[in-house]
């Protein structure tokens, strides 16, 4: 994810929060993708889960800024404000990349948490050949497992759980992006292609602009197929996209494959897509992929975003769907 302006609209163009995110090469999906997954998760969450999750997030450490994003008052119904806050939380792990907020950046930004690369090469007959590589390949799965334990531990404080929720939401989205599980090894990239970041789709012609690479193409695939119109607010845009995706991939169709808390299975599942749907025979270096390739990538992204949302929502239900503790 390159430099990205995240625009979060809490009500119909009345209140907007602009956060400039200076992101490195390890981000997955852009803010639209993460918000879609959070929207899907919210639809699966019970009222009790929603209430407990929002209450926990508002207890986050002050220096994380997580609680400050919640709009206590506004023209929209309270449930809408809570849902949009929940969506924004899904992007928090990218927001903290902003170096302008030095204390927050140093404490909460962890670039190698956003991915978990498996090193591999593509054989001449189109198979995946795994490679034992000593290069560091990210710790996303380890952190998901760790934060899952934090959320289930009754001794964990609300402050700890708030950070755990934010990271789990984000990393769940991240590892459903196929390239966040992949380090493809070639002659020109003997130590891996950094999740497609080194696979350029156009030549370097402008010293002031990074050329389009495969990773960013996949991160931003939703907006590339359905761009936000100039006069359209974020809320109906995200609602419309997520609604269509959920209709295409209803919960009943995907429920048997949720594999809740089986993070390594999620990892392997998304990794396998690299050989079938990402590095296809028609993909060429220094050439922007065809419309056909982009449409197919979008179809894969739809499935992955909705699946991540169902998994996220049901995971939070399993942990938080309980009566509110007596004060």
Express each pLDDT in 164-186 by its tens digit.
999 999 999 999 999 999 999 99
* Predicted local distance difference test score (pLDDT) of residue 51: 98
pLDDT band at 15 (very low <50, low <70, confident <90, very high): very low
* Predicted local distance difference test score (pLDDT) of residue 325: 52
Evaluate whether residue 325 is within a structural domain. Answer: no
Evaluate whether residue 326 is within a structural domain. Answer: no
The tokens describing 275, both together, are: 């050989």
For the stretch 264-305, pLDDT in tens is 999 999 999 999 999 999 999 999 999 999 999 999 999 999
Evaluate whether residue 279 is within a structural domain. Answer: yes
- Is residue 298 within 8 Å of 248, Cβ to Cβ? no
Strands (E) in the chain, as ranges, are: 4-9, 16-21, 118-122, 128-130, 182-184
Separation CA 310–CA 227 (nearest Å) = 24
Evaluate whether residue 256 is within a structural domain. Answer: yes
Q: Which residues contact 278 (CB under 8 A, 6 or more apart)?
A: 178, 179, 182, 196, 214, 218, 297
For the stretch 46-85, pLDDT in tens is 999 999 999 999 999 999 999 999 999 999 999 999 999 9
Tell me the pTM.
Answer: 0.91
Q: Into how many domains does the chain fold?
A: 1
The CATH number assigned to the domain holding 211 equals 1.10.575.10
φ and ψ at residue 318, rounded to 5 degrees: -65, -30
* Predicted local distance difference test score (pLDDT) of residue 8: 37
When the pLDDT of each residue in the chain is averaged and rounded to a whole number, the result is: 91
CA–CA distances in Å: residue 34 to residues 30, 84, 91, 148, 186: 7, 12, 6, 19, 30
Evaluate whether residue 108 is within a structural domain. Answer: yes
Higher pLDDT, 7 or 114: 114
* Predicted local distance difference test score (pLDDT) of residue 230: 86
* Predicted local distance difference test score (pLDDT) of residue 322: 84
Average pLDDT value for residue range 202-209: 91
Evaluate whether residue 219 is within a structural domain. Answer: yes
Count Cβ atoms below 10 Å from residue 259 Cβ, excluding itself.
13
Evaluate whether residue 292 is within a structural domain. Answer: yes
Evaluate whether residue 295 is within a structural domain. Answer: yes
Of 14-23, 80-89, 146-155, 163-172, least confident by mean pLDDT is 14-23
What residue numbers bound the domain in which 143 lies? Answer: 4-320
């Amino acid at each position: 994810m390159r430099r990205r302006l995240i625009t979060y609209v809490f009500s119909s163009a009345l209140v907007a929060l602009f956060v400039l995110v200076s992101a490195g090469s390890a981000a997955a999906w852009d803010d639209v993708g993460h918000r879609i997954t959070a929207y899907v998760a919210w639809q699966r969450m019970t009222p009790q889960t929603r209430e407990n999750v929002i209450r926990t997030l508002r207890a986050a450490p002050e220096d994380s800024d997580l609680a400050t994003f919640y709009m206590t008052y506004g023209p929209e119904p309270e449930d809408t404000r809570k849902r949009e806050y929940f969506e924004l939380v899904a992007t928090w792990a990218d927001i903290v990349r902003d170096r302008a907020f030095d204390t927050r950046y140093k404490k909460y930004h962890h670039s190698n948490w956003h991915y978990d690369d498996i090193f591999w090469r593509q054989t001449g007959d189109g198979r995946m050949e795994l490679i034992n590589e000593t290069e560091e390949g990210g710790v996303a799965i380890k952190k998901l497992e760790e934060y899952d334990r934090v959320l289930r531990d009754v001794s964990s404080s609300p402050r700890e759980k708030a950070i755990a929720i934010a990271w789990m939401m984000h990393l769940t989205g991240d590892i459903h992006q196929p390239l966040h599980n992949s380090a493809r090894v070639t002659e020109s990239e003997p130590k891996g292609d950094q999740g497609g970041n080194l696979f350029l789709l156009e030549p370097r012609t402008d010293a002031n602009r990074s050329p389009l690479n495969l990773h960013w193409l996949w991160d931003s695939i939703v907006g590339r197929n359905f761009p936000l119109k100039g006069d359209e607010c974020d809320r109906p845009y995200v609602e419309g996209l997520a609604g269509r995706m959920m209709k295409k991939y209803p919960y009943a169709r995907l429920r048997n494959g949720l594999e809740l808390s089986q993070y390594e299975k999620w990892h392997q599942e998304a990794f396998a897509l690299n050989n079938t749907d990402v590095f296809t025979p028609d993909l060429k270096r220094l050439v922007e992929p065809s419309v056909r390739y982009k449409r197919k990538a979008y179809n894969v992204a739809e499935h992955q975003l909705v699946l991540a949302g169902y998994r996220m929502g049901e995971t939070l239900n399993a942990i938080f769907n309980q009566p509110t503790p007596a004060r």
